[in-house]
Amino acid sequence: MNLKSERRGIHVDQSELLCKKGCGYYGNPAWQGFCSKCWREEYHKARQKQIQEDWELAERLQREEEEAYASSQSTQGAQSLTFSKFEEKKTNEKTRKVTTVKKFFTASSRTGAKKVAQEKIIKQGQLGRERNADNILRDLKEIFTPSWELASPTEAEIQEAKAPSPSINRQVSIETDRVSKEFIEFLKTYHKPGQDIYKQCKLFLDTMNHKKDLSIEEQSECAQDFYQNVAEKLQTRWKVSPEKVEKAMDQIEKFIMTRQYKYVFCPETTDDEKKDLAVQKRIRALHWVTPQMLCVPVNEEIPEVSDMVVKAITDIIEMDSKRVPRDKLACITKCSKHIFNAIKITKNEPASADDFLPTLIYIVLKGNPPRLQSNIQYITRFCNPSRLMTGEDGYYFTNLCCAVAFIEKLDAQSLNLSQEDFDRYMSGQTSPKKQESDSWSPDMCVGVKQMYKNLDLLYQLNERQERIVSEAKKLEKDLIDWTDGITKEVQDIVEKYPLEIKPKNQALAAIDSENVENDKLPPPLQPQVYAG
């Protein structure tokens, strides 16, 4: 297999513009419109300046650090540190503490990191006080010793790898360990070329360790060169058959990228993270897009189809969890197969690209896979290029790139909407789903249907409640009116027939005096005795 012709893989964001410097070569937006050569020149100038600034900053921090250590007991060890050690640190491995300082050497978030790092250094100083001098000395030595001094000799034999060299494996995870073991097992079937492959991989990893300060594009180039060289060597020098070369290349990629992943995936020197967030936000803003708008030939009412859709979404989300570019591609392929199945079940005929791309777009919108741009960039930069240019995996990956590009550019026209509707949906004023809730209900899942039913019920209850409240109020008013009415009536009657009460005593004492006609009355009869 001749890989020479495909040296550089594909650059997804390549535009047609010529280099801004007018040198006649093509430029690349990733290099701000320069060609590789002019960009490197420009970049070096800027970088030189950056390094100068960083040095000054580092020098100041160094002083601060020394002061912090000086206050601890370990003055000796700290003072023996000179600034020149910082140079070594640049090529040093990322240990916990170096990461802190290393942040200052990256272009992005420099000012923000400043404060944090200062705090960290102060904290370390405080911690230092509690430790004894020997401990700190040892720690410092560890930090400032370049990795190649710690590393065991590079002449690594296959057996030796079982006791991995500290330079690479100091921080290896269980997964990395497992991958290494598998790789060694695999290489044993290749005999002599296997040993050679292993040596070359180790050498490459060591080189990459020292090249961490290079831009990600340059690192990508190194990896692509490495893939190509190994493949060529296997083919020409060891006369390995093309199938076996391909197999070996897959394993090599797995071995290398498992180790390189954390350094080259979404590195802070690029704006990958910013792009990730932008895409994520964009997809979130497009939550209202329905399959109808995209003309997706998938009917989610069919349980089998909705099952496929869910699986496809799971696959595309799972991509982020993989470390090896090829595994990520496999996730995309799996997702695509599920999409094809969904279309096939719905339409009852094999899907064409006219059906596939809209559905993939719909799946991406529905799933909002994490770190989409970073993943695409990572695959583009570090996947074996032959996988991307041709083959099924490459086809589906290209489709995913198309889908993302489409989502970024998506406008009213591409959804067959009027500009006003599009703007209203984008601003969240209305949602197409609410308007069409009646015609839409069959599409919704059971839970949403139940929710709408419950909402209706709640509305009814609310109405009844209000009616009761208003009636209660009326009753209350009636009651008050009635009491008032009664009171008034009683008062009227009282006024009409005033009650006169005569003095009680008078009446009793002069019960006779009042009797005016008393005089006219004949004298009371006196008892007389009659003899009879």
Tell me the closest approach of the beta carbon of residue 1 to another protein, in angstroms. 5
Q: Are 258 and 323 in contact (CB under 8 A)?
A: yes
Tell me the closest approach of the beta carbon of residue 168 to another protein, in angstroms. 28
Tell me the closest approach of the beta carbon of residue 450 to another protein, in angstroms. 35
Q: Is 527 helix (H, G, I), strand (E, B) or coil?
A: coil
Nearer to another protein, 35 or 248 (CB): 35
The sign of the torsion formed by the CA atoms of 62, 64, 66, 68 equals negative
Nearer to another protein, 151 or 283 (CB): 283
Q: 34 pairs with which residues across the strands?
A: 28
Tell me the closest approach of the beta carbon of residue 401 to another protein, in angstroms. 5
Q: Is 154 helix (H, G, I), strand (E, B) or coil?
A: coil
CA–CA gap between residue 278 and residue 284 (Å, rounded): 10
Tell me the closest approach of the beta carbon of residue 415 to another protein, in angstroms. 9
Terminal Cα-to-Cα distance of the chain (whole angstroms): 178
Q: Torsions phi, psi of 28, nearest 5?
A: -140, 130
Nearer to another protein, 265 or 356 (CB): 356
Tell me the closest approach of the beta carbon of residue 37 to another protein, in angstroms. 8
Tell me the closest approach of the beta carbon of residue 335 to another protein, in angstroms. 12
Tell me the closest approach of the beta carbon of residue 219 to another protein, in angstroms. 15
CA–CA gap between residue 509 and residue 496 (Å, rounded): 32
Q: State the CB neighbour count (10 A cutoff) for residue 176.
A: 19
Tell me the closest approach of the beta carbon of residue 352 to another protein, in angstroms. 3
Nearer to another protein, 14 or 454 (CB): 14
Tell me the closest approach of the beta carbon of residue 437 to another protein, in angstroms. 27
Nearer to another protein, 112 or 242 (CB): 242
Tell me the closest approach of the beta carbon of residue 311 to another protein, in angstroms. 14
CA–CA gap between residue 135 and residue 126 (Å, rounded): 14
Nearer to another protein, 413 or 450 (CB): 413
CA–CA gap between residue 425 and residue 420 (Å, rounded): 9
Nearer to another protein, 80 or 413 (CB): 413
Tell me the closest approach of the beta carbon of residue 424 to another protein, in angstroms. 21
Tell me the closest approach of the beta carbon of residue 242 to another protein, in angstroms. 5
Q: State the CB neighbour count (10 A cutoff) for residue 218.
A: 14
Q: Are 38 and 94 in contact (CB under 8 A)?
A: no
Q: Are 193 and 238 in contact (CB under 8 A)?
A: yes
507 HSE (CA, 13 A, CB side):
4
CA–CA gap between residue 173 and residue 150 (Å, rounded): 19
> Any long-range contacts for 148-153 (C-beta under 8 Å, 24+ apart)?
148/206, 148/210, 151/206
Q: Are 191 and 238 in contact (CB under 8 A)?
A: no
Residue ranges that bind another protein, judged by CB under 8 A: 1-8, 10-12, 14, 16, 25-26, 28, 35-36, 242, 295, 337, 340-341, 343-344, 350-358, 386, 389-392, 395-396, 398-399, 401-402, 405-406, 409, 413-414
Nearer to another protein, 125 or 325 (CB): 325
Nearer to another protein, 21 or 262 (CB): 21
Per-position DSSP letters for 302-340, written without gaps between them: SHHHHHHHHHHHHHHHHGGG--SHHHHHHHHHHHHHHHH
Q: Which parts of 237-289 fold into alpha helices (H)?
A: 242-264, 272-285
Q: Are 190 and 237 in contact (CB under 8 A)?
A: no
Nearer to another protein, 117 or 388 (CB): 388
Nearer to another protein, 251 or 399 (CB): 399
Q: Are 182 and 240 in contact (CB under 8 A)?
A: no
- Per the document, the length of the chain is 532
Nearer to another protein, 242 or 428 (CB): 242
Q: Which residues contact 369 (CB under 8 A, 6 or more apart)?
A: 316, 317, 319, 320, 375
Nearer to another protein, 11 or 94 (CB): 11
CA–CA gap between residue 340 and residue 330 (Å, rounded): 15
